[in-house]
Amino acid sequence: MVPEINAFKKWLRLKSPYSSTHIHYSSDLRIFFKWATKPPGEVTLLDIDAFIQHCQKEGLASSTINRRLASIRSFYHYLSMMNPAAPDNPVRPKRHFIHLGHRLPRDVQDSDLELLFAEINHPRDRAMFLLMLRCGLRVGEVRNISMYDLYLHSIPPGLPRIWLQGKGGVERVAYLSHQSMHALQNWLDSRPDTDNQAVFLNRFGRRLTVTGIQDRLAKYCRQAGIWITCHQLRHTFGRHLVEARVPVTTIQKLMGHARLRTTQVYLHISDSQVQSDYENAMEEVLERISLEGGAP
């Protein structure tokens, strides 16, 4: 394996200690160089072209391919900073990056949520996934919570809350609903007594990894006969807020979005005014032309 990848991973981690970028980028690079079977100095534009075709044949999403390209491009940028004689960057954005259309967040049907949580009896797992669904936490944020981040005994009318390190190391506060607070307290009551400050521990008493959390959700999904991702639970939190007519600026703060336009996409997946206008329009149209009849 290319030795520079480990140095690159350490550099990314120093730059963004609260981000999982170093994990994803180093994984992408190992995948690429295992496929390419050549050192960084011999990789060409044509190799990147072929790698994109390879990823597409594997059925990878365009967003995943673009992330892999970003990983490779960032890696070569790092090499050029460390060594003026480093090879040229083979990734050219205008040539290689795939144009992505405007995509809406994929939430979860409420009926599937009921199926999922009917399978989750472990207090730790129930607390983790309710923090995603009822508080909008990202999987990495759940993983990073430590005991000193919990403020569970606020004086009324203040709500219990969690201090989070969000994307890019940006701090934010997540408030706890009664349901999520109850689930978290149940886990804390049974959590092993250890010096490890991580709230969510694995069976060895160490902090759960992101992959470990995702694997737990996958296990419950298989039992329920459905498929849901951790980020879809967060998306569903956004939809539920929209359906409850929470102002979009409040939703932005609760979800930790840096830009309001990121939050506004949730208005498109559950817009009560649009639904009402559509329903009224169809009723009016049916009064004029019903199209009844046809084959039984």
Q: How confident is the model at residue 153 (pLDDT cuts 50, 70, 90)?
A: confident
* pLDDT at res. 274: 77
Residue 138 is among the residues annotated as catalytic for this protein:
yes
- The catalytic residue among 25, 76, 78, 266 is 266
Do residues 163 and 23 both lie within one domain? Answer: no
Measured CA to CA in angstroms, residue 67 lies from 14, 48, 91, 261 at distances of 20, 13, 12, 22
Residue 178 is among the residues annotated as catalytic for this protein:
no
Do residues 132 and 92 both lie within one domain? Answer: no
Residue 234 is among the residues annotated as catalytic for this protein:
yes
pLDDT digits (tens, 9 = 90+) for 46-67: 999 999 999 999 998 898 999 9
Do residues 143 and 252 both lie within one domain? Answer: yes
pLDDT digits (tens, 9 = 90+) for 87-126: 999 999 999 999 887 666 788 999 999 999 999 999 999 9
Do residues 199 and 115 both lie within one domain? Answer: yes
Domain count, the chain: 2
Do residues 82 and 136 both lie within one domain? Answer: no
Per the domain annotation, does 227 fall within a domain?
A: yes
Do residues 38 and 129 both lie within one domain? Answer: no
- The catalytic residue among 124, 234, 235, 240 is 234
CA distance 90 to 228: 36
Do residues 198 and 83 both lie within one domain? Answer: no
Per the domain annotation, does 225 fall within a domain?
A: yes
Per the domain annotation, does 273 fall within a domain?
A: no
Average pLDDT over residues 33-53: 95
Q: How confident is the model at residue 163 (pLDDT cuts 50, 70, 90)?
A: very high
Do residues 84 and 217 both lie within one domain? Answer: no
- The catalytic residue among 96, 138, 216, 240 is 138
Residues in the chain: 296
Choosing from 44, 65, 96, the residue where a domain stops is 96
**CATH number of the domain to which 212 belongs:** 1.10.443.10
Collapsed DSSP state (helix, strand, coil) of residue 173: strand
Tell me which residue of 231, 239, 229, 247 sits closest to 269, measured CA to CA. Answer: 239
Do residues 114 and 50 both lie within one domain? Answer: no
Residue 235 is among the residues annotated as catalytic for this protein:
no
- The catalytic residue among 22, 143, 216, 257 is 257
**CATH number of the domain to which 21 belongs:** 1.10.150.130
Residue 126 is among the residues annotated as catalytic for this protein:
no
Do residues 71 and 166 both lie within one domain? Answer: no
CA distance 67 to 73: 10
Residue 222 is among the residues annotated as catalytic for this protein:
no
Per the domain annotation, does 259 fall within a domain?
A: yes
Collapsed DSSP state (helix, strand, coil) of residue 235: helix
Do residues 261 and 155 both lie within one domain? Answer: yes
Domain, as residue range, for 176: 110-265
Do residues 33 and 156 both lie within one domain? Answer: no
